[in-house]
Structure formats: structure tokens, C-alpha cells
Chains A and B, each alone.
Chain A
Amino acid sequence: MIKQSIIENVLEAALATGGDFSEIFIEDKYVNEYVLQSGKIEQSIAGRDFGIGIRIFSGLQSIYTYTNDFSEEGLLAAAKRAALAIEGGGSGTIHPLHREIITPIHQILHLPHTVEHARKTAVMRQADSIARNYDSRINQVKVRYLDEQQNVLIANSEGKFVEDTRVYSRLSMQATATEGTEVQTGFYGPGAHAGFEFIEKLDLNHYAGEAARIAVTMLHADECPSGKFPVIIDNEFGGVIFHEACGHGLEATAVAKNNSVFANRIGERVAPEIVTYIDDGTLPNEWGSLNIDDEGEKTRKNVLIENGILKGYLIDKFNARRMDAQPTGSSRRQSYRFNPTSRMTNTYIAPGTSEPADIIASTEYGIYAKYMGGGQVSPSTGDYNFAVMEAYILKDGKIERPVRGATLIGNGAKTLQLVDRVGNNLAHGAGMCGSLSGSLPVNVGQPMIRVSEITVGGTKGE
């Protein structure tokens, strides 16, 4: 993308004031996005994102600058501007760049730009018609198609020089059901680190049908009661609860400065023995997968909690310095505009032994969260909140009736202790995670789990 000799000059210029590490991240990304609403393709955008991020470390200081001026003068000026922030002396040295060839673990069959537009829009129309035909009360459907090809080049003063191509495909469907003055929506948004083959193979009857079914089901749902209940959270996107309640607290961003309830606790019991929590960026073609992270480190399977014992954190190169630890292939950024830091990839609770039907049957009274919405956490305190998209009241071991407006609140570290059943039906769901280094594709996953008590906030007063 940019000549190697220019890259070398930039890495060197960045160290002119005494920095001890410099890095360049070059990104050239093509994006296509179409939106179908009211049965019509009404928005289509194509674009090219292009820019360069330069990073310098000087001890425990991190300097970042970005630009889309790709001329040698422009890049050198940016590197020098960044270097000015360091008040050191002398100049660091750079190692000769050594080109590393990576073997892609995520095979891409059909690059999006080789696929005719009409094939992409045909899938959108099909999803639209499945959702509309599900029920006469579905009066609006919005289908969003997205493909991205992100080409990156990462080089640093330690001699790293590596290139990678990431391809993403996603189809998201939102159905709105209306009856009288009642309006409810349902959503499903499968995505993958894959080409158009992923979109073509999608079981649209399932995904578009579920989006419609959720909307219609919620139309006549009662208001959710408030209080403390046992909560069963189903598999797949249900994993978002531990993504927030626990995953963010295991990122070096929070751990390195002791701003996490999980800091300095390696080897300690933080969860019941049935809980094993893993982050794995190597799962083939999953939405949160990568060949290499945004520092050029190979992704790997990181076991964070094993049988309830805290085993590790997600660590990037910079925080590794403060923590005196090794990076874990977990450094990510939304684009060249973001200083990378430790983030999740595909994070999930490993499958247990309970049959999902038995978990439900053994619950006297509680809430069954079939599909979760999004959530949020404050890593320093661990306090979280989540919306449940589709919830039911459980009574005498049976799913009784749907309820809406359920919000789960609590403290991550405490909730983790209260997991008392882990099912055997692990599945993953795609989502976007927003944090320090931007908005990133991540998978959340789990089998069905039960927490013995969570505070449920609802619209129906106690």
C-alpha cells in the first residue's frame, strides 16, 4: 500500500525524540451498505476509507496520531508531530523490517466486490418478504446489508511487517408489528468474517421469521414484573450478559490500572466450578475472528476463567508494559482513527452438562430471557444493565407467558458467582461492541445458563 522504504523512514522519524517503540497501521477499506425499507431499496452507499495511524511508546506513555495524507512528506510530518509529545532525549533504533506471511485461518470464497449487486439485493428482498408474510400484523420491515473488505498493513520498529485482509458480511433484519396503538419490534442480525457465501447460505426463514415472530409475540405481552428472580438466559446472543458483566472487566484497559474488580486476582475463584469463560479469535469465519490483531499479533484461544478460577486477561502491547505481561493477540481498533487496545473477539461460556429442557423444568418461578437486547457496564464498579428483547414468566417449570420491558441490573462479579446451571447447547451470536478503541464486530456466546438471582426492572410496579 505504501513503499517499504517510506514506512521505514516514518518509523525512524517517530523515534527521533527518544521513543522506544514505533508502529504504523495502514488501512484501505471498501464498504458497501444497502438499506431496504417499505419494500424498497432506499439507500445504497459505497465508500473507501483510507488512512494511516502512527503510534509511539515511551515507557508508559503512548502517543497516537492519524492522517489520510499518504504522501511521504505528510507521513513524516505526522510522525514528527507525534514525536514532539515526548520530552526525552536521544533516538531509538529500528530493526530491519522482516515481512511475515500469514496463513489465513478464515477462508473467504466470494469477495464482496466480485458479486453482482443484484444478488445482494435479491437476498434482502427475500428476507423482507419472509418477515412480511409471517403475520398480517407485520407492517414494516427494515433490512440492512453490509459488506466490508479491510486491507491492513502493520509494521513496527521491532521489525514486524505484516499484511492482512479482513472481509465482513452482515445482514440485519428488523420487523415492526402493529395492532391498534400497540407497536413492537423484533431484530436479528447474523454476521461473519466471510464473503458473500455467508449471506447466500443464511437460513432466511429462520432469521427473518424470528425477527417477525418476536415483534408479534411482544404485541400482547404483559408488562414485566419487578423484583429479584432466578433468570434463565438462553444460548447464542444471551452471552452478551457475560460480555458486559465480566468480559470488559478482564480487558487490560481496565485491569492494568486496577480499575477492575478482577484485577490482581489470577488464580482466585471468581465463579462457580461450572463456569469456564473463553475468548477465541481463531474460530473459523466467526464475526469477531481475525487472523492477526491490529498490532499484527496472531489471534489465539485465551482461557480467561477455567472451572471458576481466574486464569488470564486480554492484553495489548501497551498495557502489557504496565502489567509486566505478554500480549494475548487481543489488540483491536475500529479503524486507523483509533489507538488500539485490548478488546474481546469471540467470547463465550464453554458448554456444561445440563439439558436446556431440564434447566427450565427445574425452575419454580422466574424469568426466561429468550433473546437479549444490548447492555452496558461500568468496568470499575462492575455494575451492568441489559435489556431483554423477548422474555417470559416461568412458573412451575413451564414457560408461562411473554412479558415485555424487562431490564436486568446487577454487579458482574456478584452475578458470576450466582450461575447455578450451564447447559450443553453452546451457540454464538454477532454484535457490535463499543469501547475505547471504537466500535468492533464481536461474537458473544454461551449455552443456556441460569443465574439464581438477578434484579429485574420492569414497567409493572411491585
Chain B
Amino acid sequence: MNISRYQEKLLDKALEAGFIEAEVYYEQKKSFQCMLYKGEIDSYETSEDGGLSLRGLYNGKMGYSYTEKLDDDSISFLINSAKANANILDEDEGIDIFGGSTKYTSYDYYNEELETIGIPEKIELLRSIEQKIRAYDSRIVTLDYCLLQEYTAERSLANSKNLALSHKENGLVLFLSTVVKDGEEMKSGSYLKMTRDFHSLHADDIAKEAAEEALANLGEKSIPGGKYPIVLRSDASASLLSTFMPILSAENAQKDQSLLKGKVGHKVASEAFTLLSTPFHPAALSGASFDGEGVATKEQAIILEGTLQTLLHNRKTAKKDNCETTGHAHKDSYKGALSIAPQNLYISTGEKSLDELIHTVTNGVFITELSGLHSGTNTVSGDFSVAAKGFHIQDGKIASPVKQMTIAGNFFEFLNDIKGASSELYFLPNGYGSSSLLVKELSVTVE
């Protein structure tokens, strides 16, 4: 199947069928994944797949459909479904298909070398990491995940206004979860690493970090519940940020689902807090030079030293608010409708190292992992109460791991309570990043 010919044919047929304008979006992905268990390949997966969506203006409304089967029958399925869906909509979005930005920044999201390194070499690395972790300490019982994942993805957007954009990216992700046991106490610790540079992966360093992450959790103690100053490690902070991202969406603000409505130009966080969005960051794997509508993306400050600079817009919300789109139209894949999401959103770094931040706390808690974020958070009110793993800080030093905890607070208050950001930056594979943060206080409950 020749994709560009299929795209062309679909666009022609859509216009013939009464669409005023139309856009075809195509995505294809190749992936490889391997999981080891005691040196043996436990599971091995490969894939080559993709899909295509049609978005078009019909009777003044934007119809949408997708398929993963690319044959002639699907052309009529796509056109008829998109038409029917346009008819169901109550709202005339007032948005047309985008004609293109004047300039797109080119940036390398693809490293050919990663793809040319053979699968056996990658499995060998994983095997050596597993071996080194198992040998690292007698308290290491097993690894419940020892996983390597690699992908190459391509997407293209073509429309009846002669815009044709394409993007190619690849990456490799390692995920390790180590189970440790001391007497009756059983704990686990997870480790995640992503890169486009295979040669940056060193088995000794990775095994040490992964093993230490789990071993550190042994010897847990209880501390009294109450309000404590908190140091939130960068990875935990990035996952909290990713959960509360919807408050930045102009669409949510317009629908009364964000308390940041009407707050542009106002102070919404402490001066120690700066939030940046950039499609181009060497430490992040995601991003693209165009957004889900084909608008050129750029680096910008969302919150600068505590002041909200802008909400995240696509063309529809920008039109409603009478401003320019910020290039944050987002398509999860060809299956999803157009929504709003950032490209690499991260909490900017500060001057002090993580140790120096911890050093400022006399009696507090250092949080290294949050879980239950999908259920214990309310992005509308900002309230959160989530499970946490971490350590007691005593007199500026990490004392001991704490039994299972919950931390609770309100995200809007949390933003105002940030007293400092560390100098290191960590990105999650989903493009959210953060430095470690020192926070005035949060409620801590200990099991």
C-alpha cells in the first residue's frame, strides 16, 4: 500500500463527497520489546502497525473518522462515518483546516544509529544489567520487570490546502523493577531510563542505580503523621505535574473546568516556580516541529517566576479567547480527536543541588515516588491525596525510609508553597519534566 497515493485518493474522494476541506493524518510505528527473567527471554515482541484518520469540514462542522485497515472499502467507511459524525455535532467549531505556518524549526528526533544496532546486542545489554543487579546484593530477590523497549514512529499530515508535513522519531526505554527482601520485609524499587544514544547506556551504572533504588527502601520506620516540609524528587514531581496538566488547557478553562480561568498575567505560583514548554529539548524524547493541526511549535514560558503567561491553546480555543494559538493542538494518535497538550512541559531548574535542598530541612519528608495519581487527584479543585514512597529527613540528612505514606494537599496551594527548585532535571518518557522541589508543607499520613 502506497500511503501518499492512498492519502491523495482519500482527499480527492472526500472533496467529491461534499467536504469543503479535509485533512488526512497517518501514523506508523515499528517496535521491539524484550523482557528477561533469570537470564532467559521471557517475552519478545515485535510489531509494525499504523492507522489513518480523516478530518473534514462538512456542512460547516468538523467530521472525524479513522481506520487501521487501509483498503478501498475503508475509503467509503471513512467518508461516510466522518459525514455522519459531522451531522451529530451541535457545535460549529468555527475552525477550518490549517493552511500552514510560515516557518517550521527543524530538529532531530531520530537517531539512525540506534536502529542499526542489532537486537542481539540490545538483549545482551539487558542480560548483563539483570545479572549485575541480581549479583549486587544478597537481599535482592528478583526483578519483576526487566524490560527493554525500542520504537521508531513516523507521522504525516496532508490536507486539501496543500500542507504536507512529516515527522520521524525513535527511542529506547529501559524499565527495571527490583524486589528486595530483608527478613520479613519485602520492598521494590523501579528504575526507568530512556535515550536515543545506545552507547550512553552502561550496564554497571544502571545496575547500581536500579539496585540502590530498591535497597534504599529497606529498614522502613514509622513517623508520626502531620504536616511536614517536603522535598519532592524530580521524577515524582514530573508525574504530579503531568497529572495536573489539564489545569493549563484553555479548553478546560473555557468550560469552567480549570481554576486558572482568567488568571493570565496574574501570580499563580511562588517566584521559585517557572514552567516551560518546548518541543526541542535534548533530555526529552518527545516533541515535534508541528502540532496536531500542523501549526509550527516553539519554546515558550507558561508560568514565569510565578506569573501565568498563557494557557495552552489550539486554534479553536485561541479563536474563542481572541488570541493566537500556542501550537498545543494534540492528537494522541489517529484514533483521538483533537485536544490540547504540551510538548515537553517542565519545571525549570534552580541553583541548589538536591543535597543542598535536603540540607535546608530539619524535620521533613523526601518523596521519591507517587502512586494512585489517576484516582487520588481532582484536577478541577486541585485537591490530591496520593500514596507515596519516601524517606524521613532529619537535621538536613536522609535518615530512614518511611512506611507506606499518603501525601495530601491542594495543587494550587502547592504551587504557591514552592520554596526552591534543584539544579537537576528529569524527563518522563511522556515528555513531562521537573527539577526536585522544596515545598513548605503537605499533610503526611503513615501506615
B46 within 8 A of A: yes
Pick the residue among B77, B85, B188 that contacts A48 (CB under 8 A). B77
Residues of A within 8 A of B42 (CB): 60-62
Query: How far apart are the CA atoms of A181 and B412 in the complex, in Å?
Result: 12
A267 within 8 A of B: no
Contact check, A226 vs B67: say whether CB atoms are below 8 A apart. no
B105 within 8 A of A: no
B187 within 8 A of A: yes
Contact check, A462 vs B224: say whether CB atoms are below 8 A apart. yes
Minimal beta-carbon separation of B377 from chain A (angstroms):
8
A window 10-42: CB within 8 A of B: 28, 34, 37-42
Pick the residue among A63, A139, A387, A462 that contacts B372 (CB under 8 A). A387
Contact check, A257 vs B144: say whether CB atoms are below 8 A apart. yes
B66 within 8 A of A: yes
Residues of A within 8 A of B48 (CB): 67, 69, 78
Contact check, A385 vs B90: say whether CB atoms are below 8 A apart. no
Q: A46-B84, A67-B47, A458-B443 are in contact. Are A176 and B405 (CB under 8 A)?
A: no
Pick the residue among B69, B375, B408 that contacts A373 (CB under 8 A). B375
Query: How far apart are the CA atoms of A378 and B53 in the complex, in Å?
Result: 37
Pick the residue among B49, B65, B255, B374 that contacts A45 (CB under 8 A). B65
Pick the residue among B82, B259, B372 that contacts A386 (CB under 8 A). B372
A429 within 8 A of B: no
B378 within 8 A of A: yes
Pick the residue among A383, A386, A456 that contacts B404 (CB under 8 A). A383
Minimal beta-carbon separation of A233 from chain B (angstroms):
15
Q: A337-B49, A385-B406, A460-B443 are in contact. Are A44 and B43 (CB under 8 A)?
A: no
Minimal beta-carbon separation of B10 from chain A (angstroms):
14
Q: A339-B43, A385-B371 are in contact. Are A405 and B383 (CB under 8 A)?
A: yes
B window 81-107: CB within 8 A of A: 81-82, 84-85, 87-91
Q: A42-B90, A61-B42 are in contact. List 13 more A-B contacts (CB 8 A).
A: A42-B89, A44-B63, A47-B65, A48-B66, A49-B68, A50-B69, A183-B259, A227-B445, A258-B142, A339-B45, A385-B404, A405-B385, A406-B385
Q: A259-B144, A407-B406 are in contact. Are A385 and B186 (CB under 8 A)?
A: no
Minimal beta-carbon separation of A320 from chain B (angstroms):
15
B350 within 8 A of A: no
B41 within 8 A of A: yes
Query: How far apart are the CA atoms of A373 and B386 in the complex, in Å?
Result: 12
Ordered by A's residue number, 7 sampled pairs between the chains whose C-beta atoms are within 8 Å are A50-B67, A259-B142, A376-B387, A380-B144, A410-B447, A458-B445, A462-B225
B40 within 8 A of A: yes
Minimal beta-carbon separation of B436 from chain A (angstroms):
22
Q: Mark A364-379, 1 if CB is under 8 A from B, else 0.
A: 0000000001111011
B window 20-77: CB within 8 A of A: 37, 40-51, 53, 63-70, 74, 77
Q: Mark B211-234, 1 if CB is under 8 A from A, else 0.
A: 000000000000011110000000
Contact check, B386 vs A183: say whether CB atoms are below 8 A apart. no
Contact check, B68 vs A457: say whether CB atoms are below 8 A apart. no
B429 within 8 A of A: no
Contact check, B77 vs A407: say whether CB atoms are below 8 A apart. no
Pick the residue among A68, A339, A387, A461 that contacts B68 (CB under 8 A). A68
Contact check, A64 vs B44: say whether CB atoms are below 8 A apart. yes
B240 within 8 A of A: no
Residues of A within 8 A of B69 (CB): 28, 48, 50, 68, 70
Pick the residue among A28, A61, A140, A385 that contacts B255 (CB under 8 A). A140
Residues of A within 8 A of B186 (CB): 380-381
Residue of A nearest to B254 (CB): A38
Q: A40-B91, A339-B45, A386-B372 are in contact. Are A226 and B404 (CB under 8 A)?
A: no
- For the complex of A and B, 10 pairs with smallest distance between CB atoms: A457-B406, A374-B375, A385-B387, A457-B445, A46-B81, A50-B69, A40-B90, A226-B445, A385-B372, A387-B375
Pick the residue among B64, B70, B77, B179 that contacts A44 (CB under 8 A). B64
Taking Cβ atoms with an 8 Å cutoff, the residues of B that contact A are: 37, 40-51, 53, 63-70, 74, 77, 81-82, 84-85, 87-91, 142, 144, 177, 179, 186-188, 224-227, 255-257, 259, 335-337, 371-372, 374-376, 378, 380-381, 383, 385-387, 404-410, 443, 445-447
Residues of B within 8 A of A461 (CB): 225-227, 443
Minimal beta-carbon separation of A443 from chain B (angstroms):
17
Q: A44-B89, A68-B51, A176-B257 are in contact. Are A385 and B386 (CB under 8 A)?
A: yes
Minimal beta-carbon separation of B80 from chain A (angstroms):
9
Contact check, B51 vs A85: say whether CB atoms are below 8 A apart. no
Minimal beta-carbon separation of A131 from chain B (angstroms):
14
Q: A50-B68, A385-B371, A386-B372 are in contact. Are A62 and B43 (CB under 8 A)?
A: yes
Contact check, B88 vs A386: say whether CB atoms are below 8 A apart. no
Residue of B nearest to A341 (CB): B43
Contact check, A373 vs B376: say whether CB atoms are below 8 A apart. yes
Q: A40-B90, A407-B376 are in contact. Are A63 and B84 (CB under 8 A)?
A: no
A324 within 8 A of B: no
Query: How far apart are the CA atoms of A130 and B372 in the complex, in Å?
Result: 31
Q: A78-B48, A185-B378, A409-B404 are in contact. Are A459 and B443 (CB under 8 A)?
A: yes
Residues of B within 8 A of A378 (CB): 188, 371
Residue of B nearest to A50 (CB): B69
A92 within 8 A of B: no
Residue of B nearest to A74 (CB): B48
Minimal beta-carbon separation of B135 from chain A (angstroms):
19
Residue of A nearest to B383 (CB): A405
Contact check, B445 vs A61: say whether CB atoms are below 8 A apart. no
Query: How far apart are the CA atoms of A376 and B74 in the complex, in Å?
Result: 39
Contact check, B91 vs A387: say whether CB atoms are below 8 A apart. no
Minimal beta-carbon separation of B262 from chain A (angstroms):
13
Query: How far apart are the CA atoms of A436 and B337 in the complex, in Å?
Result: 26
Residues of A within 8 A of B375 (CB): 373-376, 386-387
Residues of A within 8 A of B47 (CB): 65-67, 337
Contact check, B374 vs A226: say whether CB atoms are below 8 A apart. no
Contact check, A65 vs B387: say whether CB atoms are below 8 A apart. no
A window 66-85: CB within 8 A of B: 66-70, 78, 81-82, 85
Residues of A within 8 A of B383 (CB): 404-405, 459
A51 within 8 A of B: yes
Query: How far apart are the CA atoms of A50 and B144 in the complex, in Å?
Result: 32
Query: How far apart are the CA atoms of A409 and B375 in the complex, in Å?
Result: 13
Query: How far apart are the CA atoms of A374 and B371 in the complex, in Å?
Result: 11
Q: A43-B337, A409-B404, A461-B443 are in contact. Are A81 and B46 (CB under 8 A)?
A: yes
A121 within 8 A of B: yes
Minimal beta-carbon separation of A227 from chain B (angstroms):
7
A window 131-155: CB within 8 A of B: 139-140
Residues of A within 8 A of B380 (CB): 176, 183-185
Instruction: Tell which of A41, A48, A62, A82 has the most Cβ of chain B within 10 Å.
Output: A48
Contact check, A375 vs B372: say whether CB atoms are below 8 A apart. yes
Minimal beta-carbon separation of A284 from chain B (angstroms):
29
Q: A41-B90, A183-B380 are in contact. Are A409 and B406 (CB under 8 A)?
A: yes
Contact check, A381 vs B188: say whether CB atoms are below 8 A apart. yes
A182 within 8 A of B: yes
Instruction: Tell which of A69, A227, A387 has the most Cβ of chain B within 10 Å.
Output: A387
Query: How far apart are the CA atoms of A258 and B142 in the complex, in Å?
Result: 9
Query: How far apart are the CA atoms of A101 and B391 in the complex, in Å?
Result: 58
